[in-house]
A and B are shown apart, each in its own frame.
Chain A
Amino acid sequence: MNETILLTKHMRDNPEDSHLIESYEKNNGYTTAKNTLLNSSPENILEEIKSSNIRGRGGAGFPTGVKWGFLAEDEDRYLVINADESEPGTFKDRILLERDPHQLIEGMIITCFSANIKEAFIYIRGEYAKPARRVQQAVEQAYEKGYLGKNIFGSEVDLDIVVHLGAGAYICGEETALLNSLEGRRGEPRLKPPYFPAVKGLYMKPTLVNNVETISSVPWIIENGGEEYNKLGVEGSTGTRIFSLSGHVNNPGNYEIEMGTSFGEFVDTLGGGIRNNKKVKAYIPGGASAPWFRGDQLDIKMTIDDVANNNSMLGSGAVVMMDEDTNLVSAAKSIVSFFAHESCGQCTPCREGTTWLEMILDRIASGRGRTSDINLLLDVCDNISPGLTWPPKMTTICPLGPSAVSPITSLMNDFRDEVESLIPTKVLL
């Protein structure tokens, strides 16, 4: 299989300077935004986005056009770019920020025009120092050129962009936590209902929160038309997506492909296969929150719906391959530790449960497990995510708590032997 290069075209063609405005403009950058502001209407733009059928690239996969359509009327409305990318396995936004920040800014200009927004923020995770510097520089260059600020491209349109850095909290990727964080508060998710960002977002004003990749796709969609975009990929998963491939593969990296091929094909071709010709024991199809697939499930198609139908999610597009030698209990423990560390602490089941799960797994992984621990693990999971179904039921405010359950259910459903083998049989409890 081959890549389909839209989003990553400019950076590939111009490796030396793709992050600079000179290079971006030389390759027709900002002409779409300019044409839009001077010749199009907000309604037209929204129509194009709707007909492209693009779905959000942040993880939830919500149709972007529908989301824009929900934005409530108000004098003050905001756009916030979610560049908090922290889902283990994911590094696709990083390349877009670092290598092609102007594409994002152009997407933001068009988005804000369509939604009549005058103030936008890019919330970048604090650990992305270099990407943030590049974005900062790009924003400044855009201001200098008059592409941001007052009367952009000589139109009536004004737009300000502020680059804001997080400070180390995965939960701030959750859109309402992100808004709290941007308001100078603890990054705790808000209750939905009633705090849907499109109605009560930043400062309780209607706010669009979109992922970096989603908005970076906007210039192409507007330049080529929603219909063209819709033709790429498959129904329900249109366009291209950047997948972050990591783990035990020969060629880890970001690959921009049309959705629809199988994971197996993806790994074997673009990924160059599994290192040392090993077999895949299990893999994560969409970031650390997603339940795992077994090595014998590599023919599942890489679409939002196919993955969902197989009880997992395409999520943030992070594919992690684990070969036959992988210690899956340690792998699961690593993921559970992650969520325990990143729990905001509001919900009792998440705050207490994830840490407890971590402790139990730690016991098992280090050979101190008890037979009863298997049921205990599952029961604690059940108290966080009742029924252990997918998509998860939740006893919590946001899906972070239930995300910690995913690796454990995967482990127990498909690799129970591996867990049991670590429990010393002598200990009968």
Chain B
Amino acid sequence: MSDKVNLNVNGIDIQSDSNKLLIEACEDSGIHIPRFCWHKRLDPVGMCRMCLVEIETPRGKMLVPSCTTEITDEMVVDTESDVVKKAQEGVLEFLLINHPLDCPICDKAGECPLQDQTMAYGPGESRFVEEKRHFEKPINISEIILLDRERCILCARCTRFSDEISGDPLIEFIQRGNKTEVNTFPNEPFKSYFSGNTVQICPVGALTSTSYRFKARPWDLKSTRSTCNGCSMGCSIELNSSQNKMLRILGVDNDSVNQGWLCDKGRYNFEYLNSEKRLKTPQKSINNNFVDVEIQDVYSELSEIIQDRKTKVNFLLGSNLANEDYVAFREFSKSISDTEQSFYINDDLLYQGHFGQDNELAKIDDLNSSDAIVVWAEDLKEKMPVLYLRVRQAVKKGVKLIVFGHTNKTLSDIADVFYGKETVSKNFEIIKDVSKLNEIKNYVIGKNVTAIIGKSTPQQSDDSVTELFEFLRSNSNTKILNAYTKGNIYGAFQTLENIKGTRDFVENISGENTDLLFIVGADPVGRSFYSNQIKSIIENLDTVVSLDIFNHETAELSNFVIPVSSTLGEKEGSFTNIEFRTSRIDKLVPSPGQTVSDWEFITSLMNFAGLSNDSNSLEDLNNKAFVNIETSSKPVFDNLDKPSNLDGIINVYEPAINTSENNSTEALFYTGEKLYGDSVTERHSESISLLGSKKFIEVSQDIVDKFNLTSGQCSMVQGDIETTVSYIINDNLPNDLIYIPINRRDLNKFDFSKEIKVLPSRVKEALNVN
């Protein structure tokens, strides 16, 4: 804890931590000082000069910016003197002389600090009779972000965010003095995974998103706080809707988790909620045609199957369910079977991990307080973008960083030790003799290490991960953050008692042991590494029931498709993130047509089938969710809804993951996922679909030479599968290894254990003939 200091502000004595800036210390005591450029999460620049206050000095009163002034004991401050007021009015007038008067058409109007402060502190009429500064009005600086330079007040929030926080300085001040503007470079638009944050923190309407532009006025917005289920980070969010339509997501400053930031996928991948293509009625496949049916009929047909006591039922659950949904399936399974049932989670990378008593689990905040961070997992920037930001933040504070295995150099700009190529080549052999890696020894031996560890690709052996972890554990004081990246997978860990992944699904499931399969919020045929195998398994099952938001490649193979509501804004419940932090998800908009929640469906089915059931409400399920947690901080709704718990409650728990050992085979391809793909929700969110689903592979130069690739495009052929993709040369790939992003439907249909032919693009060849 830092020391306390006493100050006197406007005649009132207040106390604050000595490391605070004056503006924060005042804020904490309820004294608001107006500001534009200052942002709690950015380094202070003291540029706008709105926060000027007077302090007493030996040389008399002095005007200082409260956002850059560190407090000292016995400091005497006046935030309301005539001099201060005059200065603030002056600054506002200066800001307004070149600011357009277009509030009536500006997205920001109604929630605009400039507008608000003009009302509160501003001068009355304009004394500026000259012509205002003009810029071409709004310019697209990316597919989803617009820049209106006339409105910009040059607070440097966007530029600082990009430089300090996200580490991709693609937006900057251009020119100087009165001609200063923010802009991007012509060939290099604002291609950042985090661009939406700049829209959120822009204090005026200079940066806007195409997604929200002209959609609503703040005064008719409804809002609620919830948790993003995009990845296992579980960022705190605010949902905004108007007229029952979800319109916007904002980051909420949860100090321990996302600190206000979101990735653009988390921010904009809600647009699917409003898609016309949403499933609205239950459907049944009759002779390969889906027809609408009444939900009661579904219940009765399924009841009949279930009531046959010999029926063998299995579950393939997605990772975007709420905890309460998982519990409903658990209860259902218990009521139909005496033996303990496995739940298959739709995750290609699920493996045993490192839990249990001799493994100390890390919290996200431990990143900041450790000596070193070791990352050996899926590419954090692509899979857990906000955790990636937290790693960057820790490094900025002086924590050392060691990174293994990223073919696209993520974090190499700030890593103290970076293993790229070496790691992925020859089946991750580098890990097998970690103890020989002298470069990392200095940073870890005898140090406090936070290890973000998980599998980075399905072909990787479980051993290789364990190898590194064991090395760290025996040489340093290591805390581990097991890097399962998918949505609410930690919620599944907490609520289900026997968990397996898609690889086990492929190994275990067949018509022999499964009569009825529930696939819930999962499209493995469209997305998984095991797409083809899963497809043929499903095709051979008697009855398959899909619960989903959209029809998709997996649902199409099912006998029944049940439309369900989305965990994002259409239902209540709870979510558990990578550090076992459970927080609330909330409902803001109705879901369309006859949609039900997953838990409602399965609970109704239980009742219909006459199975014993003592949990009929969401609260019942929530109360039962955390059977293994018996503390006062059990994350039941009553607890979570206390104002002090809005940021969530952590309950560390040892999950029952029962995957079989994966001994790697020689990998011919390195598969992974990029942030943006063409999963079913992404396809139906316009902003994301503009950013994402381009089909490409990454290759080393020797592949280009070997296959005579010249046109920028090539064909990949395996049996009767053929697809044309563009290729990108990636120097960080070992020779002969091709990187394939498999969160694209055309690219996950291959069998990656067998050869895929790479040919110069036929399209181009045809052109050459002409």
- Chain A residues at the B interface, C-beta cutoff of 8 Å: 169, 186, 191, 193-194, 340-349, 351-356, 359, 376, 380, 382-384, 386-387, 393-397
- The reply to whether B63 and A395 form a contact with Cβ atoms under 8 Å apart is yes
Q: Indicate if B98 sits at the interface (CB-CB under 8 A).
A: yes
- The reply to whether B49 and A347 form a contact with Cβ atoms under 8 Å apart is yes
What's the least CB distance linking A377 to chain B, in Å?
11
Given A186-B173, A386-B86, A386-B87, answer yes or no on A348-B178 (Cβ-Cβ < 8 Å).
Answer: no
Looking at B40-48, B262-270, B461-469, B671-679, the stretch in contact with chain A turns out to be B40-48
Q: What residues of chain B lie closer than 8 Å to A384, measured between beta carbons? A: 90
B residues 48-101 in Cβ contact with A at 8 Å: 48-50, 52, 62-63, 68, 70, 83, 86-87, 89-91, 93-95, 97-98
- Chain B residues at the A interface, C-beta cutoff of 8 Å: 44-50, 52, 62-63, 68, 70, 83, 86-87, 89-91, 93-95, 97-98, 127-128, 130, 153-154, 173, 175-180
Given A341-B177, A383-B86, answer yes or no on A348-B46 (Cβ-Cβ < 8 Å).
Answer: no
Q: What residues of chain B lie closer than 8 Å to A348, measured between beta carbons? A: 47-50, 91, 94-95, 153-154
Q: What residues of chain B lie closer than 8 Å to A396, measured between beta carbons? A: 49
- The reply to whether A356 and B128 form a contact with Cβ atoms under 8 Å apart is yes
Q: What residues of chain A lie closer than 8 Å to B128, measured between beta carbons? A: 356
Contact residue among B63, B89, B177 (Cβ-Cβ distance under 8 Å from A340): B177
Q: What residues of chain A lie closer than 8 Å to B90, measured between beta carbons? A: 349, 353, 380, 382-384, 395
Residue of A whose beta carbon sits closest to that of B36? A348
What's the least CB distance linking A54 to chain B, in Å?
24
A-B contact pairs, 23 of them (CB 8 A): A169-B176, A191-B44, A191-B46, A191-B68, A193-B70, A194-B70, A340-B177, A340-B178, A345-B177, A345-B178, A345-B179, A345-B180, A346-B45, A346-B47, A348-B47, A351-B180, A352-B178, A382-B86, A387-B83, A395-B52, A395-B87, A395-B90, A397-B46
Given A186-B173, A348-B47, answer yes or no on A376-B91 (Cβ-Cβ < 8 Å).
Answer: no
Q: Give the CA-CA distance A191 to B179 in the complex, in Å.
A: 22
Q: What residues of chain A lie closer than 8 Å to B173, measured between beta carbons? A: 186, 345
- The reply to whether B63 and A393 form a contact with Cβ atoms under 8 Å apart is yes
Q: Give the CA-CA distance A393 to B86 in the complex, in Å.
A: 13
What's the least CB distance linking A208 to chain B, in Å?
24
Q: Give the CA-CA distance A343 to B180 in the complex, in Å.
A: 10
Residue of B whose beta carbon sits closest to that of A171? B176
Q: What residues of chain B lie closer than 8 Å to A169, measured between beta carbons? A: 176
- The reply to whether A349 and B49 form a contact with Cβ atoms under 8 Å apart is yes
Dominant SS among interface residues on chain A: helix
Q: Give the CA-CA distance A186 to B175 in the complex, in Å.
A: 10
Q: Give the CA-CA distance A320 to B71 in the complex, in Å.
A: 43
What's the least CB distance linking B575 to chain A, in Å?
41
Most central of B47, B178, B180 by chain A CB within 10 Å = B178
Given A191-B45, A343-B178, A345-B176, answer yes or no on A352-B87 (Cβ-Cβ < 8 Å).
Answer: no
- The reply to whether B95 and A344 form a contact with Cβ atoms under 8 Å apart is no
- The reply to whether B91 and A383 form a contact with Cβ atoms under 8 Å apart is yes
Among all A-B residue pairs, the 9 with the closest Cβ atoms = A383-B90, A352-B94, A345-B180, A343-B177, A355-B178, A345-B177, A346-B47, A348-B94, A359-B130
Contact residue among A194, A344, A347, A376 (Cβ-Cβ distance under 8 Å from B176): A344
Q: Give the CA-CA distance A420 to B366 in the complex, in Å.
A: 67
Residue of B whose beta carbon sits closest to that of A341? B177
Q: Give the CA-CA distance A193 to B153 in the complex, in Å.
A: 24
- The reply to whether B97 and A352 form a contact with Cβ atoms under 8 Å apart is yes
Q: Give the CA-CA distance A61 to B93 in the complex, in Å.
A: 35
What's the least CB distance linking B303 to chain A, in Å?
70
- The reply to whether B178 and A351 form a contact with Cβ atoms under 8 Å apart is yes
Q: What residues of chain B lie closer than 8 Å to A380, measured between beta carbons? A: 90
Q: What residues of chain A lie closer than 8 Å to B176, measured between beta carbons? A: 169, 186, 343-345
Q: What residues of chain A lie closer than 8 Å to B86, measured between beta carbons? A: 382-383, 386
Q: What residues of chain A lie closer than 8 Å to B44, measured between beta carbons? A: 191
Residue of B whose beta carbon sits closest to that of A401? B49
What's the least CB distance linking A49 to chain B, in Å?
27
Q: A351-B94, A352-B178, A383-B90 are in contact. List 16 more A-B contacts (CB 8 A).
A: A193-B68, A342-B177, A343-B177, A345-B154, A345-B177, A345-B179, A348-B50, A348-B153, A352-B98, A355-B177, A359-B130, A380-B90, A382-B86, A383-B93, A393-B62, A395-B90
- The reply to whether A351 and B87 form a contact with Cβ atoms under 8 Å apart is no
Q: What residues of chain A lie closer than 8 Å to B130, measured between beta carbons? A: 356, 359
What's the least CB distance linking A167 to chain B, in Å?
11
What's the least CB distance linking B50 to chain A, in Å?
7
Q: Give the CA-CA distance A382 to B178 in the complex, in Å.
A: 19
Q: Give the CA-CA distance A393 to B57 in the complex, in Å.
A: 13
Q: Give the CA-CA distance A354 to B95 in the complex, in Å.
A: 13
What's the least CB distance linking A174 to chain B, in Å?
14
What's the least CB distance linking B209 to chain A, in Å?
26
Q: What residues of chain A lie closer than 8 Å to B180, measured between beta carbons? A: 345, 351
Residue of A whose beta carbon sits closest to that of B128? A356
Q: What residues of chain B lie closer than 8 Å to A382, measured between beta carbons? A: 86, 90
Contact residue among A194, A340, A359, A383 (Cβ-Cβ distance under 8 Å from B87): A383
Q: Give the CA-CA distance A342 to B178 in the complex, in Å.
A: 9
Q: Give the CA-CA distance A387 to B62 in the complex, in Å.
A: 12
Q: What residues of chain A lie closer than 8 Å to B83, measured between beta carbons? A: 386-387
Q: What residues of chain B lie closer than 8 Å to A342, measured between beta carbons? A: 177
Given A186-B173, A342-B177, answer yes or no on A349-B127 (Cβ-Cβ < 8 Å).
Answer: no
